[in-house]
């Protein structure tokens, strides 16, 4: 067993991949906890798909794809807010409009680039964590550090705003700035996760670890801590499954974290389907 665990670590690409997987698993769980509590999973999906044209344009001009993706993510966030505030269109509809338009533009650009340059850019969609370079590890680590420091410094303010936006506004907190700051954190998290699982699967890592933890604990900081542990374990387990069974790495990670959610959904002490069924049966027997 020990030899099996150590074997992949003798390869440099696996070492880099595991570091990125751990960072992404931690980062997505922490930031995704806010998304889940605010019921804004669709926003994460919208931003994750909206970074695609930024990726393509950055690749086309030879710039850093992380920078291009982040700029596109911020632009989509601003556009969603602009449509919501300047028209009677609701936020969920604005997300759908922006998400589909940016995604279509990204697919068009990627298809055009692939035809002209005879290269495969599908790893932007589904991730290619086994191909991360030292520069990718460095960029991911920098983004993760910045995001986690901001979350730590603004934890109380974000907590108040997340659970009671109107109360936070009445208390004098800059809710618009907090909302935009949270969107920036989400965009940075998605950018950091691109190499691991791609823009299509990143929503799973953003939402599922926190949702799993939410079924097991009650407080936000507990959801973050347990969700981070779930995200890290899922990322590492997915990498090992990918190595030993020749599976695509991003989908393997997502399947593991989804499997853990399924277990929590079925067997959670407070919310588990089987536990509730057992409680009902026990109550019926006691009444008889």
pLDDT in tens, the chain (288 residues): 677 778 888 888 889 999 999 999 999 999 888 887 776 667 777 788 888 898 889 888 888 888 888 899 888 888 888 888 888 888 778 888 888 899 899 889 888 888 777 666 667 777 778 888 888 899 889 999 999 999 989 888 888 887 788 888 888 888 888 888 888 888 888 888 877 777 777 888 888 999 999 899 988 889 899 999 999 999 999 999 988 988 888 889 999 999 999 999 998 888 777 776 666 666 665 665
- Please give the pLDDT value at position 208: 92
Please enumerate in sequence order all residues whose Cβ is within 8 A of that of 29, keeping only pairs 6 or more positions apart, or say none: 205, 209, 210, 213, 224, 227, 228, 229, 230, 231, 232
- Please give the pLDDT value at position 234: 93
* Cα(68)–Cα(246) distance, integer angstroms: 31
pLDDT digits (tens, 9 = 90+) for 68-93: 888 998 888 888 888 888 888 887 78
Measuring CA to CA, how many Å separate 103 from each of 17, 100, 108? 27, 5, 9
Q: φ, ψ for residue 276 (rounded to 5)?
A: -65, -40
Name the DSSP class of 172.
T
What burial class does residue 36 get, using C-beta atoms within 10 Å of its C-beta: 0-12 exposed, 13-18 middle, 19+ buried?
buried
pTM, two decimal places: 0.84
Q: What is the DSSP string of 52-63?
A: HHHHHHHHHHT-
* Cα(231)–Cα(214) distance, integer angstroms: 13
Q: φ, ψ for residue 171 (rounded to 5)?
A: -80, -5
* Cα(182)–Cα(184) distance, integer angstroms: 5
Measuring CA to CA, how many Å separate 231 from each of 112, 143, 227, 235? 35, 17, 6, 6
């Amino acid at each position: 067993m020990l030899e099996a665990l150590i074997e992949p670590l003798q390869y440099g690409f696996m070492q880099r991949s595991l570091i990125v997987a751990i960072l992404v698993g931690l980062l997505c769980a922490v930031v995704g906890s806010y998304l889940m509590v605010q019921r804004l999973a669709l926003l994460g999906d919208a931003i994750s798909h909206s970074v695609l044209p930024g990726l393509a344009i950055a690749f086309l001009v030879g710039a850093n794809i992380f920078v291009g993706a982040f700029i596109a993510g911020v632009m989509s966030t601003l556009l969603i807010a602009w449509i919501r505030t300047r028209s009677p269109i609701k936020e969920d509809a604005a997300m759908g409009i922006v998400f589909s338009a940016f995604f279509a533009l990204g697919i068009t650009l990627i298809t055009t680039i692939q035809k002209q340059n005879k290269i495969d850019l599908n790893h932007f969609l589904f991730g290619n964590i086994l191909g991360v370079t030292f520069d990718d590890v460095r960029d991911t680590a920098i983004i993760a550090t910045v995001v986690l420091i901001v979350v730590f410094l603004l934890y109380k303010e974000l907590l108040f705003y997340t659970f009671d936006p109107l109360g936070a506004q009445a208390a004098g907190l800059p809710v618009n700035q907090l909302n935009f700051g949270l969107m920036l954190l989400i965009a940075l998290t998605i950018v950091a996760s691109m190499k691991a699982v791609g823009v299509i699967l990143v929503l799973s890592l953003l939402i599922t670890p926190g949702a799993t933890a939410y079924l097991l604990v009650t407080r936000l900081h507990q959801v973050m801590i347990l969700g981070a542990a779930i995200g890290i374990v899922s990322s590492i387990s997915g990498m090992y499954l990918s190595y030993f069974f020749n599976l695509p790495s991003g989908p393997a990670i997502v399947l593991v974290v989804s499997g853990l959610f399924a277990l929590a959904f079925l067997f959670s002490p407070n919310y588990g389907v089987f536990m509730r069924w057992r409680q009902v049966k026990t109550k019926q027997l006691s009444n008889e």
